[in-house]
Amino acid sequence: MTRPSSQVELLVCTRCRQEQEVTEGAERPGAALFRQLAESGIAGATITPVECLSNCSQGCTLALRGPGRWTYVYGRFDPVAHLDTVREGVAKYAETPDGLVPWRERPEHFRKNCIARIPPLDATDPNSGGT
């Protein structure tokens, strides 16, 4: 397996609305989460807005990915209360060569709100890596 790039991409769903009615012209919670993260930035990560991660019932959703890394999808983020949690989770993910952060080392919100884990495209053994 090739050594992964140190670059990490954080995808943030901008359509997420936390199952709330959003009045016309109002900023959706997902867009607010993206805006706040993009304004402050996260060292070692590119923050990319996406139209939909198809996880509408789980509130604000984001995904972490990178070349040679496992991809994780997480939900139920609050655009105000979880900014530091997102930064911590991204930092821990970026510190790994393959995206596999030991479960106990993940921020609690990441442990309890993992929606999906997807192996890297170049993975040879889909059962490797644990959870």
The amino acid occupying position 35 is: R
- H-state helical runs in the chain: 29-40, 83-94, 108-112
Mean pLDDT of 83-109: 97
- Among 13-17, 34-38, 94-98, name the one with the lowest average pLDDT: 13-17
Tell whether the torsion through CA atoms of 105, 81, 98 and 95 is positive or negative.
Answer: negative
Contact partners, residue 12, CB within 8 Å, separation at least 6: 30, 33, 34, 37, 47, 48, 49, 50, 60, 61, 62
The span from the CA of 57 to the CA of 102, in Å, is 27
Q: Where are the domains of the chain?
A: 8-118
* pTM of the complete model: 0.85
Of the candidates 21, 91, 118, 15, which has an alpha carbon nearest to the alpha carbon of residue 60?
Answer: 15
Per-residue tokens: 121: 């495209």
Give the Cα-Cα-Cα angle 7, 64, 25 (nearest 5 degrees): 110
**pLDDT band at residue 24 using 50, 70 and 90 as cut-offs:** confident
Fold type of domain 8-118: Glutaredoxin (3.40.30)
> pLDDT value at position 42?
93
Residues 10 and 90 sit within 8 Å (Cβ to Cβ)? yes
Per-residue tokens: 78: 């609050």
pLDDT tens per residue across span 27-79: 999 999 999 999 999 988 999 999 999 998 888 999 999 999 999 999 999 99
> pLDDT value at position 114?
97
> pLDDT value at position 38?
96
